[in-house]
Amino acid sequence: MTARFVITSGEPAGIGPDLVLALAQQDWPVQLVILADKGLLEERAKMLGLEVDFIDYDRFAKVRPSRAGEMFIEPIALPQAVELGKLNPVNASYVIRMLKRAIKGCMNQEFAAMVTGPIHKGVINDAGLKFSGHTEMLAEQSHSKQVVMMLATPGLRVALVTTHLPLKDVPEAITPELLKDILTITNDSLSTQFGIDKPRILVTGLNPHAGESGHMGREEIDVINPVLQQMANAGMNVHGPYPADTLFTPKYLQQADAVVAMYHDQGLPVLKHMGFGNAVNITLGLPFVRTSVDHGTALDLAGSGKADVGSFRYAIDVAIQMTGQE
């Protein structure tokens, strides 16, 4: 049975509208429903020289796969007209409305997955709306106790213990309870959504040289090691903590189904260097599948025809895999 995926088109002044128009240039095995301002997409399609047949989305209509040259769209109106490449706080509410609509549709099983385009957190906060990122909003809106931010590219998956925190707040945030939750959710998702039998998970330390036996910090001794031992004793195939500067080498990565890193800029620079433009952001632990592009809004490329749709395509492909639509 064909599934429906909901796609949020992201920051309207950036490349998000360009990318969803590019997605409409190919066939898909699922039905893609785009949330966007219809006038914005019509204008951008004309600018890019793309032919698209816009079909108003009807949730009660028979589900069928999306075909090249067409787009199922649920119109969401912009408060103000978009100036190409220029952020406007007035339009921040438009981005939030798209996300809330997508989450609601996934929660009531209207959609099998949501795939999100790039947004600009700064302009949302400038508008006076509290927003620290997709991951945090998804957790709150879906009433999920704990979620995990994972980025993936062919050959590497990296899950994070902490996400969008100042570096000075990271050590205190890494508690035994949090680390257990992150490892459990990651392990369960790799097994059930990616079909990996007894996934092998490698874990970084927090400090240089994984604390060097306490000489460079005690978090490994006091928190990380005890949790890893407990999880291993319970049957999880988990190993570490390894110094991050040696774990992210072929010797270790070729043995890993996923790496769990302690903070955002410990794990993600390596992954983005390895697979930028062909990577996907996945939120684990939600009651539905959510994937996203791995890049920003690229305001300078909006309307230029130079935006690379590879990450968006890959995000949809991973969602197809995770929902069993292959």
Closest CA to 246 of 233, 256, 236: 256
**Alpha carbon distance 20, 81 (integer Å):** 19
Tokens of 270: 């390596």
DSSP string, 67-130: -TTEEEEEE---SSPPPTT---GGGHHHHHHHHHHHHHHHHTTS-SEEEE----HHHHHHTT--
Alpha-helical regions (H) of the chain: 16-23, 38-48, 92-107, 121-126, 134-141, 170-173, 176-192, 219, 225-233, 244-247, 250-253, 264-275, 310-322
Q: Which residues are annotated as a binding site for a divalent metal cation?
A: 164, 209, 264
Residue position matching structure tokens 């408060």: 79
**How would you class 180 by CB atoms within 10 Å of its CB: exposed for 0-12, middle for 13-18, buried for 19 or more?**
middle
Q: Which residues are annotated as a binding site for substrate?
A: 134-135, 272, 281, 290
Residue position matching structure tokens 């106790």: 145
Q: Are 310 and 277 in contact (CB under 8 A)?
A: yes
Beta strand pairing status for 289-293 and 53-56? Answer: unpaired
**Alpha carbon distance 133, 88 (integer Å):** 18
Tokens of 142: 């879906």
DSSP string, 273-293: HHHTTS-EEEEESSSSEEEEE
Q: Which residues are annotated as a binding site?
A: 134-135, 164, 209, 264, 272, 281, 290
Tokens of 216: 């460079």
Backbone phi and psi for residue 230, each to the nearest 5 degrees, phi listed first:
-65, -45
Residue position matching structure tokens 């080498």: 249
